[in-house]
Every structure is written in structure tokens, then in C-alpha cells.
Amino acid sequence: MDATQIIFILSAALIIASAVMVVTTRNLIHAALWLIATLFGVAVLYAVLEAGFLAVVQVVVYIGAIAIMFIFAVMLTRREMLDKSPQLNASWPMAALMSVVTLAGLVLLLLRWNGGATLPAEIAGGANATLTNLGVALTSPDAFVLPFEVASVLLLAALIGSAYVAMNKK
């Protein structure tokens, strides 16, 4: 096992552990700090994969802007950080069932998918690729369009969630 594999395993453990802490902690500030740890682990994975541009964007945009903005928003809008409301609502069994069904569908999809057998084409220019080549690679059906689209759907879900939280009347 070489150093790259060790760093990958440690980063994956950090990401999984801190992601679990994000959704299980009751204190919103602690959840935001665990989110920062999760995003930092993802930046380390980008660096290990030699995607320096994405690693820097991860640190600057997600950790430096979005996570810090979330912490400021929580600090400015909440008087008491500890959520004392019940953690489970009446429809949690249906949510758990839907989560299991979704997980089973994803596992079935991944087991039948053979797209991982081939690697996408390398970006021309190696490590010194231009942003134009990166943009073409991100939108090319033969390269990285699937991760790019997944990221855009996640950002859309975050936008809808933040609009819902902002419009939620107590």
C-alpha cells in the first residue's frame, strides 16, 4: 500500500465520519463545523486525484464561502443553538422505507453498470490544461458529464432547501 492509498483511505474515513456527524449532531454550529471537515476531506481527495483546480475551488468556494456563510446565518438567526424539538416526526417510518428503496435502486444500478470499466479520455495538456479544455471535458458525454450533472442537481437541491428554510413561517 503506497502513500496515495493511505491518504485516500484516511480522507474517505474523515468524509464518512464527519458526514455522519453532520446529520446526527443536535447543535447547528457543530454540524456546520463537521460539514467543513467533510468538504475538506473532499478537497484532499481532489488533490490526491491530481485535480488541483477542483481542490482549490472546493476550499475557496465551499469551505471559504458557503460553509462560513452558513455559520454566520445560523449565528445571526438563532438565539439558542441547541435544537430542543423532537428529532423524529410521525412519518419517519415512511422516510426510512423510501431511503432503503432508494439505496437498493442505486446499488442495483451500480451493479449492472459497466461504465467504470473504461476511463474517460485525459484532458489535453495534462496538468497544465486550460479552462477551456476543462469545460469541454466537463460537458462531454465521453468524459465527466455525469459527475458534473450530479453536482448541479445537488446544488439545485441545496438552493430549494435554503429557499424553503428561508420562507418557513414559525
User: What's the total number of domains in the chain?
Assistant: 2
Q: pLDDT value at position 66?
A: 78
- Distance, C-alpha 168 to centroid of its chain: 24
The residue among 157, 160, 138, 158 whose CA lies nearest residue 149 is 138
What CATH number is associated with residue 66?
1.20.120.1200
Angle between helices 68-77 and 28-48 (to 10 degrees): 180
Query: Backbone dihedral region of 148: left (phi > 0), alpha (psi from -120 to 50 degrees) or beta?
Result: alpha
Residue 46 lies in a domain: yes
Residue 113 lies in a domain: no
- Distance, C-alpha 119 to centroid of its chain: 22
Q: Quick: pLDDT tens for 68-120.
A: 777 777 766 665 555 566 666 778 889 889 999 999 998 998 888 776 666 66
CA angle 5, 8, 12 (to 5 degrees): 140
Q: Is the pTM here over 0.75, yes or no?
A: no
Indicate the Cα dihedral angle 25, 27, 31, 32, nearest 10°: 180
Taking CA atoms, 162 is separated from 47, 73, 165, 168, in Å, by 29, 11, 5, 10
CA distance 18 to 39: 9
3-class DSSP state for residue 124? coil
Residue 98 lies in a domain: no
Q: Quick: pLDDT tens for 135-160.
A: 777 777 777 777 777 877 887 787 77
Q: pLDDT value at position 57?
A: 84
CA distance 109 to 96: 20
Q: pLDDT value at position 120?
A: 62
Taking CA atoms, 5 is separated from 1, 39, 58, 118, 151, in Å, by 6, 19, 21, 21, 25
Choosing from 41, 64, 80, the residue where a domain stops is: 80
3-class DSSP state for residue 16? helix
Least confident of 45-49, 91-95, 112-116, 123-127: 123-127
Higher pLDDT, 57 or 77: 57
Q: pLDDT value at position 7?
A: 93
What is the extent of the structural domain holding 60?
1-80
Domain shared by 9 and 74, yes or no:
yes
